[in-house]
A = this chain, B = another copy of it.
Amino acid sequence: MPKPSARSAAAPASPIRRLYPLSVEAKRRGKKVYHLNIGQPDISTPAAFMRGVREAKVEVLDYAPSPGIPEALEALVRYYGECGLPVAREEILITVGGSEGITFALTIACDPGDQVLVPEPFYPNYLGYARLTNVEIVPITTSRDDGFHLPPRAEIEALIGPRTKAILFSHPGNPTGVVYTKAEMEMLVDIALKNDLFIISDEVYREFVYDGKHTSLLTFPEVRDRAILVDSISKRLSACGARIGALISHNKDVMTAATKCATIRLSAPTFEQLGLAAFMADPGHRSVVEEMIGEYQRRRDLFCRELLDIPGVTFRVPEGAFYVMMGLPVEDSEAFVRWMLTDYPGQETVMLSPGAGFYVTPGLGKDEARAAYVLQTAHLRRACAVLADGLSMFNRALAGEAVGERG
């Protein structure tokens, strides 16, 4: 019997996929699990979006135009205009989520075997998109001590070789929450310029900025021809299941190539595009997003305050997104996350994402974990109490075992 290809067998299996069944099992045993492991907002999808779906006038659900439905493209033109990022309709392509946007961007920037630089730790699915497009990720390692800000320019440029075609980063960062300073963005832009690289910015958390200011890649005229923006309504509309994202470029050749990619897969889903159009047509749309960001700011502030009180937990307060990548006072965070699901006593427990899954450099992130503060504040407070208790109990249990082994 034929075997699946090496590439599909080698697709990354993140620790979360190994741990997920344990959380299901814990819930079957009646446990309340605080899921800090997934970046899935709990906030209601805006009513105007839902209305757009429900009231869509569709008689024959035919293929939507491959680059996007005109009303949805116009909605995005308006959106970027409101963000101070003027973009023309033909510079936007609607994608099936940010996922497809990254896949298209890698396909366009790289031929098979080419390389792309990515600050590490990074969103683990990047590795999946890279594997499926036969692109190699070369990590720019960043550290918790620096709040995951970028290393000096020379360190980044030392990684560039003849097959390097692009720099890709998420900004604000998942899993780091980092928001790069203007100076950092200028450095990345200049590196791309001097080394003839594409520069791909995944800005799906654009609005989720609590300290400082987000500098979009689109504000740099010097890389107008080499900038590719990837975006999604998943987070800002609390609509992860809509599968509506966008790829944006001022480079005509890039848009031609992107349109070819889009034509091959025919179209993005219709109802959700109409939902986006209805949302942007709603005069209250900006305040809906602002209110949500206010809620996340409260969550971040509370969550970080509570984390500060847990002995041995180390982190710098992240400026954006809705994640904290923290150091835990354990040697192996995956073992701890597992223990919390299988052995931690009581009626509640907490699930985190083990840090190693966000790195490609072997050995890094083993004592780290990512928490997504996507729960309401009362639950975040309880989750932190459980986490504190769990860490102390886990370390006592380990110490006890060590004593036992010695005896």
Q: Using Cβ atoms and an 8 Å threshold, which residues of chain B touch A49?
A: 61
Q: Using Cβ atoms and an 8 Å threshold, which residues of chain B touch A132?
A: 107, 133, 261, 264
- Number of A interface residues, CB 8 Å? 78
| Contact yes or no, B240 A266, CB < 8 A | yes
Q: Which of A77-85, A149-157, A250-258, A327-335 contacts B (4 or more CB under 8 A)?
A: A250-258
| Contact yes or no, A225 B1, CB < 8 A | yes
| Contact yes or no, B198 A2, CB < 8 A | yes
Contact of A1 among B40, B97, B108, B226 (CB under 8 A): B226
A114, closest chain B residue (CB)? B5
For the complex, what is the distance from the CA of A268 to the CA of B107, rounded to whole Å? Answer: 21
Number of copies of this chain in the oligomer?
Answer: 2
Q: Which of A8-16, A336-344, A349-357 contacts B (4 or more CB under 8 A)?
A: A8-16
| Contact yes or no, A2 B226, CB < 8 A | yes
A61-B45 contact given A96-B265, A114-B5, CB 8 Å threshold = yes
A44 contacts B by Cβ under 8 Å: yes
Could you mark each residue 52-64 of chain A with 1 if its beta carbon is under 8 Å from any beta carbon of chain B, else 0?
0110101111111
CB distance from A278 to the nearest CB of B (A): 13
A97-B8 contact given A238-B61, A241-B61, CB 8 Å threshold = no
| Contact yes or no, A5 B107, CB < 8 A | yes
Q: Using Cβ atoms and an 8 Å threshold, which residues of chain B touch A54?
A: 53-54
A272 contacts B by Cβ under 8 Å: yes
| Contact yes or no, A269 B257, CB < 8 A | no
A253, closest chain B residue (CB)? B4
Contact of A272 among B4, B8, B271 (CB under 8 A): B271
A109 contacts B by Cβ under 8 Å: yes
Contact sample, A vs B, 27 pairs, CB 8 Å cutoff: A1-B196, A2-B109, A2-B196, A2-B198, A4-B254, A5-B108, A5-B109, A5-B110, A6-B111, A8-B258, A40-B62, A50-B58, A53-B53, A58-B241, A63-B240, A96-B243, A96-B269, A97-B265, A107-B132, A112-B112, A112-B134, A128-B263, A240-B266, A241-B270, A242-B270, A243-B267, A243-B268
